[in-house]
Chain A
Amino acid sequence: MKLFVSGDAVARALGADELAAGLASDAASRGFTVVRPGSRGLCSAEPLVEVETAAGRVAYGPVFEEDLASLRPVLFDGGEHPKRLGKLEDHPFLKKQTRLTFERCGLSDPGSLADYRSHGGLVGLAKASEMTPSAIVEFVTQSGLRGRGGAGFPAGIKWKTTLEAPGARKFVVCNADEGDSGTFADRMLMEGDPFLLIEGMLITARAIGAGRGYIYLRSEYPDAIRVLGHALDIARAEKLLGPSFDIELRIGAGSYVCGEETALLESIEGRRGQVRAKPPLPAHHGLFGCPTAVNNVLTLAAVPYILANGAEAYARHGLGRSRGTMPIQLAGNLKNTGLFEAPFGMSLGELVHEIGGGSASGRPIRSVQVGGPLGAYFPPALFDTPFDYEAFSQRGGLIGHGGVVAFDDTVDMLKQARFAMEFCAVESCGKCTPCRIGSVRGVETIDRIAAGDRRNENLTVLTDLCETLKYGSLCALGGFVPYPVMSALEHFKEDFQSPRPAASRAAKRNP
C-alpha cells in the first residue's frame, strides 16, 4: 500500500517534506511505502496527503505538522478527521474537470518510468513510431491543437513547416520559461508527470525529423529542474533517450523576455536574450540556424493523448476554433486556487465564482487579469466572456497561457497599470525604442496622473503611448503591455480620477 505526500513545489513550500519525514516511521511499520507525487491540482488544499485504502485513495488537506498527532491514528485506514477531503474524484473542483493533459498528474510517481507506463504512458509514442512523420503532423493538425504558450498558433502547421524545411539538423525546443504571473501549469506538469513531456518531445521529434531536443526551463523553478532532470536521467538509462534523440535541459537566468521564442533561442546559443525579427521563422531558421519547432510545455504534453486516443477524441472538446482542453490556472485572491483543466468555453465568471469559490479574503472580486502580465484586466461586467481565444480577443483581452488572477475590491487599478509599465521597462530586451523608452515614460505619466498633475493631458499622453507601443514593437512584450494598461483605464476609470478612492481603500490593506 502507498501513502502519497504531495511533492509539488507548493506542498513543499508549505512543509510537505517535514510531513513526509514525520509520517515515515508510521508508514513503514504499517507496511506503507511513501510516494511523493505531483499535485492533484487543488493548490488551496496543499500540502495534500492521500492514503491507499481498499475503497480507493482518501485525501486529507491541507495537512500541517500540528495535524499529525491527531491524524496518525486514523490516516492509514482513511478514517474521519477534520482535514479529510474524501475521494478527490468526488471533490467539486476535480469533478468538473476534463483531464486529458493532466490525467496522470498527482496520481503517478514522477520518479518512476514503470509507473508512468502502468498509468498508460508511452502508448502515444508506440502509435507514432508506426506512423510516418507527415502522418503524425496530419494527425496533430486534425486534432486542432493550438500552441498553449500564449499565441495559440496551430501546432500542426508549425510542425509541417519544420518538417518540410530543408536541413540536415533539426531541433525541437520546449519552452518551459513560464514567466507569466498567475501561471504554473508547466511547472506542475513537469513536477508531476515529467515523462509525459519527454514522450511529447519524442513524438514531436519523430514528426519533424529532429535529432536533438532542448528544454529551456526557468531558474525560478528549482523543484521542476530537479524532478525533470531526474526523469531525463531515467529516460536515458532506460534507452528512451539516446544517440538518435536526446534532450538537454537548459536553465534560464531570470529574464522574462527569454520566454519569447527567438529570444529563447538566442539565450540557448549563449547570447543576450534579444528578440529576433521574423521572418525568418524558427521553423526555417531556428536554433543554431537549423529548422526548429519551439513549443510550450503544455502543447507538447497534449500530444501523447492525441496520438493515443485519436485526433477526434481531442477535437470533440472545445468551442469554435479553440479545440481540446485548456489547463486553466486559478490564482491570486481566490478561495479555491489551482489547476483546472476544462474544455474551452466556460465563462470567466463561472471560473472565478463557482470553481474558484470567490475571493479568499471574503471581499467582492473587482478585477481579474487573464493571460499574465500582458493580459487585460476584466471587470465583473465582462465575466460572461467564454474562455476561448477568439472570445477574449473580441473583448480586448487574451487568454495567453491560461492564468486567471483575481483581485478583490482593495485593488488600486492605477497601481496595476503602473506595474505593467514598470514590468515592461524592467524586462524589455532593449531592441525597440517604444518598448525600452516608452515604458519608462509610461510609468512617469501614470505617476503624474496619480499626483493629479494635468490629469486629462496625461491621460491622453498615456493613451498615445499605448498606441505607439502597440504598433511600434517587435514582440508582444512592448506590443501587448497596452492590454493591462488600457483595460485598467477603460474599465476602472474611477481609479484614475481625483480623488482616488481606490488609493485609500488599498492603503487600508497595503500599508
Chain B
Amino acid sequence: MPITKPFDLAEAESIIRKHASVEGPLLPILHELQAHFGYIAAEAVPIVASVLNLTRAEVHGVISFYHDFRTSAPGAKVVKLCLAEACQARGVHEARTRLESTLSVKMGETAADGSVALAPVYCLGLCGNGPAALVEGRAYADLNHRGFDRCVKAVKS
C-alpha cells in the first residue's frame, strides 16, 4: 500500500474491466485503483465513467463523498489515528500530541519530507484498548503506553 505508482492506462483499464460486470461496480473499482496506484488519478476518472456509462461528474461526486478515497499521492506511510469518543476517554489527546511531535507531522497533513501522512479516523473497533491507530492498514493500540513505540517503529521501518 505505501507504493504510489505512476498512472498506467492499460493497468487502470484492466482493473476497471475486471469489476465492470458485477452489479454496483464503482466502489470495488475505486478501492482497487487506489490500492494499486496509491490514489485515484484524475486520468482514471474518464475511463471509469465511460466503461460504467456514467458522467465524469458522477464518478467525481462519488470519489469526493467518501473519506477513504484520495486524488493525490499520500505520504509514504499513512497513519490513521482514531479521534472518536472511546479513544478520547482514554486520552487520545496525549497520544496525538506525542505522535505529531515524534513524526513531525500535523493531524490532517503530510510531513514536509513526504515520509508520513497523519489522518483522523473515527473508531477502529479497538475501543477498550485505545488510543488506537492504523499504520498502513495494520492496527496499533494502547498508544499512551507500550503501543506508542510499536506504532512509531512501524512508521519508521
Contact = CB atoms under 8 A, between A and B. Distances in A.
A422 to B, nearest CB: 10
A180 interface: yes
A248 B23 CA distance: 11
Given A332-B86, A369-B85, A222 B138 contact: yes
Interface of B: 22-28, 30-31, 52, 58, 61-62, 65-69, 80, 84-91, 93-94, 97, 121-130, 132, 134, 137-142, 146-147, 150
Contacts of B90: 332-333, 360
A255 B89 contact: no
Q: How large is the interface on A (under 10, 10 to 19, 20 to 34, 35 or more residues)?
A: 35 or more
Contacts of A255: 65-67
15 contacts: A10-B126, A10-B141, A14-B129, A180-B123, A187-B125, A251-B31, A253-B27, A333-B89, A334-B128, A360-B90, A373-B122, A403-B86, A405-B85, A510-B91, A510-B93
B89 A221 contact: no
Q: Is the interface of A mostly helix, strand, loop or mixed?
A: mixed
The 9 A-B residue pairs with the shortest CB-CB distance, nearest first, are A337-B128, A270-B26, A332-B89, A181-B84, A254-B67, A253-B66, A43-B128, A331-B127, A510-B93
Given A220-B134, A332-B127, A267 B86 contact: no
Given A12-B139, A250-B27, A255-B65, A337 B127 contact: yes
Nearest to B84: A181
A187 B146 CA distance: 23
B127 A44 contact: no
A16 to B, nearest CB: 11
B125 A46 contact: no
Contacts of B132: 13
B123 A181 contact: yes
B46 to A, nearest CB: 17
A326 interface: no
A294 to B, nearest CB: 15
Interface in A284-315: 288
B85 to A, nearest CB: 4
Contacts, number: 169
B26 to A, nearest CB: 3
Nearest to A369: B85
A181 B86 contact: yes
Interface in A419-437: 419, 423, 427
A134 interface: no
B55 to A, nearest CB: 12
B128 A222 contact: no
Listed residue (A248, A251, A254, A419) with the most chain B CB atoms within 10 angstroms of its CB:
A254
A44 B139 CA distance: 16
Given A13-B132, A511-B93, A511-B94, A220 B85 contact: no
Contacts of B139: 9, 12-13, 222-223
A181 B82 CA distance: 9
B89 A411 contact: yes
A337 B84 contact: no
A339 to B, nearest CB: 9
A251 B27 contact: yes
Contacts of A181: 84-87, 122-123, 127
Contact of B127 (A254, A329, A411): A329
A180 B122 CA distance: 8
Contacts of A213: none
Contact of A330 (B122, B125, B128): B128
